[in-house]
Chains A and B, each alone.
Chain A
Amino acid sequence: MFKVVIGLEVHCELTTNTKNFSAAPNKFTDYPNEHVSTVDLGLPGILPVANKEAVRKALKTALALHCKTPDEVIFDRKNYFYPDLPKGYQITQNTKPMGINGYLDIMVDGKIKRVDIHDLHLEEDTASLEHFPKYSLIDYNRSGVPLIEIVTEPCLSSADEAVTFFEDLRDVFLFLGVSEAKSNFGQMRCDVNISLMREDSTELGTKVEMKNINATPSIRAAIEYEIKRQSDLLLKGEKVVQETRRIGEDGKTYSMREKVDALDYKYFIEPNIPSTPISDDLIYELKSKLPELKLERYIKYTEKYKLSDYDAKVLSKERTISDYFEEVLSFGSDIDLSVNFVTTTVLGTLNKLEISLEDFPITPKTLSGVIELVHNKKISLDHAKKIIYESIEKKENPLELIEKQNLHQIDDEDELLTLIEGLMEENKEIVRQYVEETNMGAINFFIGQTMKKTNRQANPNKSKDIIIKCLERRKENEQI
């Protein structure tokens, strides 16, 4: 039928101490107009001072998205009148964006799709407006907050791809630590451009733009609705109108305004910010600090470490978890045990206690010590996990706890045999049930008793073997 062509423009507020061109704090507040300086209000005589941290974070993101970076940092003015734009122009980048011609690989349906990025530029956010029937209010808290805009090529072809890209881009921001990228705080927003073209055609169809969509479900709904709406129109032989649409709460899109001629923003280079050369050293420094991103880690986990798709996804989804996992491995820990501990014990504890990894008390080094004990069969897996929970509760080091409780496993077979023989003498009725009625429950009973008696130190596998041997021997001899 039709080929779907989608391009995204994603805006993301950067995490910085201060705003992009003023000293006002860049942080969330419930009070309107609290974090506002004279610069953010556009008062006569103010001048912008570029924020080094914002520049570095924008450059870092550009490099992570494999963009070509410019030789110097310069800004441009984008001139238009709107009440949320106090200076009457926005400081942005048009001449030399922080990055051009990049890409981000995403995985859709198990296949890797390369999303081409046209450019990434650094700019300032506008104030926010709240409209009432007879008046509107302006909150300048957002005015001047550093914002990066990432513009893709029109290379996405489904709602799935668009949503995956949006979500993966969020993970890039989080992995890089450049933004908290919370949609519900408006920190990450998206404009969607979509057009349909006939399968056999080489000509792009008429483009419809949907502005300011924050949440992933809305992006999906808007795209799916538009694909249907535009297909219906085209099938009826009607034309798609070039326009800007908004998404309603019902998931349908509604026309906002028809696009007349594109507005001329009369860009020119911001004269108040002298150009600053970007040194090779800076680029080298930023590049060397780039973390591996989600997909790279996923591929490493599945291909190199042979993890299951599920485990690899869980362990690569968040950078802190992934870094923790890799640090555990860096001590030479057994991979399977490490996966087991991190995905169950660590993540389970985080969920249960509703804490983040930063507040998780057990360091990767300590955990690797516990894993080492399990690996060398000094302590059972089961028991090790219980110790970890206990140590978190008691705020103690699990290794010390193991030491203190003398919890090293009893591996000595003679020791175990003596113990088990003794237990069988004490529980003749259970032995009888096995010998006469082949009640298999007896095995578990004696394992439980062995554990109880040894304060869980007995090697469970060895104990089990010995218990079975003892019971079988009695059965053969019909001895109770």
Chain B
Amino acid sequence: MVNKMYRGKTILELRKELDEKIITKEELFSHANTLAHYFQEDYNSFVTIIDKPKYKERDSILSGIPYALKDNFSTSGILTTGSSNILKDYVPVFDSTVYKKLKNAGATLIGKTVLDELAMGGTGTTAHTGIVKNPWDKTRMIGGSSAGSASSVALGIVPFSIGSDTGDSVRKPAALGGVVGFKPTYGRISRYGMFAFASSLDHVAIFSRCVKDASIVTDVLKGYDRLDMVTIKDDNKKYTDTLENDIKGKRLFYIKEICDKELYKDCNDKVLEEVLDKFYELIEKCKNLGFEVEEVSIDKKLLEAIYPTYMCISCAEATSNNANLTGIQFGPRGEGTSVEEIMFDSRTKGFSELIKRRFILGSYILQKENQDKLFLNAGRVRRIIVDKITSLFKEYDGMILPASGGIAEKFDSSSEKLEKLSSRYLILENHLAIGNFGGFPSITIPYGFVEGMPIGVNITGRVKEDDLVLNIAHQIEKVTGCKNQYSKVGDIDV
């Protein structure tokens, strides 16, 4: 008997079944739709679940494959909220390039996923439609901001989903949800129609359950777009073709100041210890695969500057990027007797406190008297960090680091939360932003479990060498034992 089970299958497996007519795209959609509804109440992955899909028959590897899209990608005729009250009724009139490409490839959109409001935040708890829960443990967060896109893949609802990554918004929830999260080189995929958070850091990124699927989707999405001036000329490579390239002698480094166990010996944190133990186990496995892996040392001050630098740049750009949300052109219009009052009221009601806090920070950072000290200095520090990593990439093919020092946080863990100014928080929990600073291709893949929760490892490579990063990740994936994993939670059989 043919196995008709859908949940947890990869793109290639579904492709084969579609091509052999074992299953139809309508059935695939129906399975995905059933799962989406089934898990919605418990996990809240979606802002909108699509019940009447539009199918397109295309000669493409993604034709008929269900997927989910973060709710900050413009979809013509489909509600797109950015998970914010200020856009709670906004139905766009144009398609983002990513959506258009997936439509043209015949992929079936099954829903728009929940994010931290306007993609600002890393918890998945600030959407206007409620919190997103971790498929591996409902009492825990999955992280954000692409929370729903991460959980929809981790629950096995869809084989892949699209997110946006400005600091670590795909690669971090991928780690905490036990799935793959890939952010290609800046400019590799068009951002047109993706709601801007911090334009110089914003990337389109992909969730999947294996590196190969991430490569398949990247192959479809990548390329120059005349609507996004920062997109780069296509390299005309198929990343799926080079996944099996020999990696013998490829050189990787990890940074002592981030993952040296000695740094944390006073923390008394069993989870962290285990995370790092497993990381070094993986490093050994990498060496066995033929990688050369070395430890390098970077000025700790530079690493501690990553998070404040990220906050300065992202808040400043965000306050400007979101200045179009006034209730004048679109969105709920506030009250008042003058346009100024209406704008003021719309924005007061439309944004949560967290967002307002970021806007105020951003505004302060851009003020004439502060701009050089804060905004421009952040730009300089960004450059120094990128130069440092780029110079290491002259000697090494990639950087490998634990994506996080821990596992997904509990919703009620306020007492356990890390001190925000501790170097452990500043460095271990925020280094993924390096990938955004430099536009480096960067991928997180799962590499084990600690206390029953998944953990992820990150591999970052040279700008424009997306193929090499995917090649390295695909090879490492073979020794993690975590390939194609998803949370088998739920008493549902499709």
B73 — which chain A residues lie within 8 A by C-beta?
Answer: 45
- B196 interfacial by beta-carbon distance below 8 Å: yes
Closest B residue, CB atoms, query A44: B195
Within 8 A of B (CB), among A264-278: 264, 266, 268, 271-274
Stretch at the interface among A35-43, A404-412, A432-440, A445-453: A35-43
Known: A42-B324, A44-B82, A44-B195. A264 touches B329 (CB 8 A): no
Q: Which of A86-94, A211-219, A338-346 interfaces with chain B?
A: A86-94
**B30-38, B247-255, B362-370, B474-482: which one contacts chain A?**
B362-370
Q: Considering only CB atoms, which chain A residue lies closest to B230 in the complex?
A: A274
Within 8 A of B (CB), among A246-275: 264, 266, 268, 271-274
Q: Is A241 an interface residue (CB 8 A)?
A: no
Q: Does B42 contact A (CB under 8 A)?
A: no
Q: In the complex, which range does the number of interface residues on chain B fall in?
A: 35 or more
Indicate whether A83 reaches chain B with its CB closer than 8 angstroms.
yes
Contact of B22 with A by CB under 8 A:
no
Smallest CB gap from B93: residue in A: A38
Segment among B207-215, B221-229, B429-437 that sits at the interface with chain A: B221-229
Candidate in A79, A81, A264, A271 with the most chain B CB atoms within 10 angstroms: A271
Cβ contact of A274, chosen from B74, B229, B328, cutoff 8 A: B229
- Determine whether B92 belongs to the interface, using a CB cutoff of 8 Å to chain A: yes
Q: Does B191 contact A (CB under 8 A)?
A: yes
B192 near A86 with CB under 8 A, answer no
Quick one: which of B284-320 are within 8 Å of A by CB? 316-317, 319-320
Asked whether, in the complex, the Cβ of A272 is within 8 Å of the Cβ of B199, the reply is yes
Contact A38 B94 (CB under 8 A): yes
Q: How distant is A293 from chain B, measured CB to nearest CB, in Å?
A: 34
B193 CB–A CB distance under 8 Å: yes
B-contact 0/1 string along A14-39, CB 8 Å cutoff: 00000000000000000000000010
Question: Would you call B90 an interface residue if the criterion is a C-beta within 8 Å of the partner chain's C-beta atoms?
Answer: yes
Q: Contacts of A88 on B, CB cut-off 8 Å?
A: 320, 322-326
Q: Given A81-B326, A87-B323, does the pair A136, B229 have CB atoms closer than 8 Å?
A: no
| B contacts with A: majority SS | loop
* Separation of A198 and B194 alpha carbons in the complex (Å): 58
Report whether B323 and A81 are in contact in the complex, using a CB–CB cutoff of 8 Å. Answer: yes
**Complex Cα–Cα for A268 and B323 (A):** 14
For the complex, give the distance between the alpha carbons of A266 and B193 in Å. 25
**Mask: chain A, 424-444; 1 = CB below 8 Å from B; 0 = not:** 000000000000000000000
The answer to whether B87 touches A44, judged by C-beta atoms less than 8 angstroms apart, is yes
Q: Kindly provide the distance from the CB of B372 to the nearest chain A CB, expressed in whole angstroms.
A: 11
CB pair A47–B368 under 8 Å, yes or no, is: no
C-alpha spacing A138/B375, complex, angstroms: 34
| Cβ-defined contact, A45 with B96, below 8 A | yes
When distances are taken between beta carbons in the complex, the residues of chain B under 8 Å from A48 are 229
Check A83–B323 contact: CB distance below 8 A.
no
Closest chain A residue, CB of each to CB of B363: A266
> Given A50-B229, A89-B320, A266-B320, A83 and B82 touching (CB < 8 A)?
no
Q: A44-B82, A45-B73, A47-B227 are in contact. Are A83 and B328 (CB under 8 A)?
A: yes
Q: What 6 pairs between A and B have smallest CB-CB spacing?
A: A88-B323, A266-B366, A271-B200, A271-B199, A45-B193, A42-B324
**A45-B192, A88-B322, A272-B230 are known contacts; what are 6 more A-B pairs with Cβ within 8 Å?**
A44-B90, A45-B196, A49-B227, A50-B229, A82-B339, A272-B199
12 CB-based A-B contacts, threshold 8 Å: A43-B92, A44-B74, A45-B72, A45-B92, A45-B192, A47-B228, A81-B326, A81-B343, A87-B324, A268-B375, A273-B229, A274-B230
A residues contacting B by CB (< 8 A) are 38, 41-50, 77, 79, 81-83, 86-89, 136, 138, 264, 266, 268, 271-274
List B residues at the A interface (Cβ < 8 Å).
72-74, 80, 82, 87, 90, 92-94, 96, 191-196, 199-200, 226-230, 316-317, 319-320, 322-326, 328-330, 339-340, 343, 363, 366-368, 371, 375
